[in-house]
Amino acid sequence: MKNKTEKEKMLNGELYDAALDESLFNDRIKCKTLCQKYNNLSIENLEERKNLIKQILHKTGQNFHIEQSFYCDYGYNITIGENFYSNHNLVILDCAKVEFGSNVFIGPNCGFYTAEHPLDVERRIKGLEYAKPIKIGNNVWFGGNVVVLSGVTIGDNSVIGAGSVVTKDIPSNVVAVGNPCKVIKKIENN
């Protein structure tokens, strides 16, 4: 049986060492170089900005807008749906898949972090890590300064209040806030 590469381990959600895999290093350099180029483009150059995001991300809808600055690790693990909007300073650590549905709106200074590190200090200081996917439904709105941690799913039509730290799944049709983020009310359709 063939030994798995560190990249294969990462994509399978297993413990891996990103420093041991040259292809992961090269993937990060390529992605971060494109992000740097994107962040340095004139804000007036909307078409080139859109084309660069399409090069960075795995899949996009036709209609999206990501304000500068934007950072991610690999890009190829990120998909965004139609009518995606992100305000300034979006950070996505995409060691695992990060999927955004359609009509997702993200306030400034938000982060989506799939990466985790072992609690065991010996493995952690060796640089080992693992990642769990994040999935965001349709019609979700994030206030500013929200952090979504690995393994979280957020259902359709929900609102995540500013400053929240989302550590567990959030169902559809709710308002959730806080650290840790908790549901405070259901959203009733008019």
Active-site annotation, residues: 117
Q: Which of 81, 38, 40 is nearest to 58 (CA)?
A: 81
Q: Are 72 and 78 in contact (CB under 8 A)?
A: yes
Q: How far is CA 86 from the centre of its chain?
A: 11
Amino acid, res. 28: R
Number of H helices and E strands in the chain, helices first, is: 4, 19
Amino acid, res. 116: E
Residue carrying the six token digits 């090269």: 26
DSSP for 41-71, written as a single string: S-TT-HHHHHHHHHHHSSB--SSEEEPSPEE
Two tokens at 6?
A: 């560190």
Element holding 37 (H helix, E strand): helix 22-40
Residue carrying the six token digits 């990120």: 78
Two tokens at 158?
A: 């929900």
